Amino acid sequence: MLILRQLFDQAVIHAYCLFTRLRQLPSIMRERTPRFLGDEVLRPADGTRYAIVVKYAGFGVAQDFLDLLDALRRAGVNTIVVCNGELRPEERSKVAALAHRIMTRENIGRDMGAYRAATLHLQRSGLRPSRMLYFNDSVIYLAGTGLDTLVARLAEEGDYDITGSFENHELVHHIGTYAFSISGTVFYDPAVLRFWERYRPYDLRPHAIHQGELAFSAVTQKRGYRKDVVYSADRLALKLDAMDLPTLVSTLRYLPFGPFRSYDIKALLEGPTKTVRLLSKVGEKKRRAAAPPAALASGTPTLSAYRAARASAAQEAAPAAEGGRFVTETLVNHMMGMIVDGSQAHRGAAIFHRVMDSPLIKKDLLMRGLFVEHDCARFLDHLPAATREHIMRELINRGRLVYLRGWRAFQVRHGLI
């Protein structure tokens, strides 16, 4: 029965994707050479670092989007806002105050379609960036030092040709395209240019992932470009390893909801705790077997006796310290195992934010079923109330899978939207 259901689901998905491609084919063919409804340079460029920032006009311009533009401006990055659809006049004026350039197009292919159109147009117009940053509005950008740090890292012209904010090991390893950057060499690489020319901007999430994100990563991997990730699992693990056990246990509240938190901490720590006790018993036996320094036993405070006593105390403390590290590392291993195998920006959203000050919050955290409302309220509890309320409304209004029914639930469950 399960196999039949899976076959039926795959048939429905295939039919839906085929129908969507056929329906969108005329606009895709017209978009072979990118077309823009408007292209206005608002102020002269300052330097050679640029950012393509995509905004879907239908959702309006929220404060977090303006905060991103302001952070880019402060970092000396020339921001090119690519609007999928026309902004309202009052929203356009707010964006214009912070941007270097505004390009307007039809909403064909959403984020990847806008990336493609702007990249090809800028390449053909002769723009020569030393660094090109890419952002879209699928995430909430939290203003503060975290956002400034992220922008600085992405704008850095250092050892890496490509820098991502997060990485993903689902399907194959790739870097998330909601916030990343490339060097000028990558921007003008003929192989990368061919990728953008061949990419067809269908408004299909599976297409954007497989033929967009994954294909882009494959091209750049084949070209041998060096890649780095700002919020990487290895850096997170080192920060967790450095915590004392009470602090580490307190971060468990930032793990994803559901099966990811359905474990017994007592059972989890039981094995390592037994090891600590065993090591302590071995240390106690060694201590009792060692005769106390004669001079210390007689009460004579000689320097050699003092040194011997300190050495003995250190020997007793060593097993407990080693055992404590074993407990901590076991818990860290368990926590990291919940984060690393899929989309780290989703599974690790809360813990990366609280431990590494990541300023990125994916807007579909609740919709994907990884967190629920009180989880988000907890890991955002340090923010000003007004900011937190705005973010919570953004997340909640997109719904959760448990509330969805029918065709929309099918689409979310199978990654069609």
Of 251, 261, 235, 262, nearest in space to 351 by CA: 251
What percentage of the chain has pLDDT greater than the value 70?
82
Stretch 264-285: mean pLDDT, rounded? Answer: 55
- Residue 305, pLDDT > 90, answer no
**pLDDT confidence of residue 296:** 46
Of 159, 342, 71, 348, nearest in space to 235 by CA: 348
Neighbour-count burial of 17, counting CB atoms closer than 10 A to its CB (0-12 exposed, 13-18 middle, 19+ buried): middle
The reported pTM is 0.84
Determine which of 49-53, 258-262, 408-412 has the lowest per-residue pLDDT on average.
258-262
pLDDT tens digits along 325-363: 777 888 888 889 888 888 899 999 999 999 999 999 999
- What is the rounded distance in angstroms from the CA atom of residue 375 to the CA atom of residue 360? 16
- What is the rounded distance in angstroms from the CA atom of residue 55 to the CA atom of residue 104? 10
**pLDDT confidence of residue 258:** 56
Q: Do residues 162 and 225 make contact, with C-beta atoms less than 8 angstroms apart?
A: yes
Locate all alpha helices (DSSP H) within 54-183, ordered by sequence.
63-74, 89-96, 110-124, 145-155
- Residue 273, pLDDT > 80, answer no
- What is the rounded distance in angstroms from the CA atom of residue 95 to the CA atom of residue 289? 76
Q: Which helix (H) or strand (E) holds 30?
A: helix 2-30
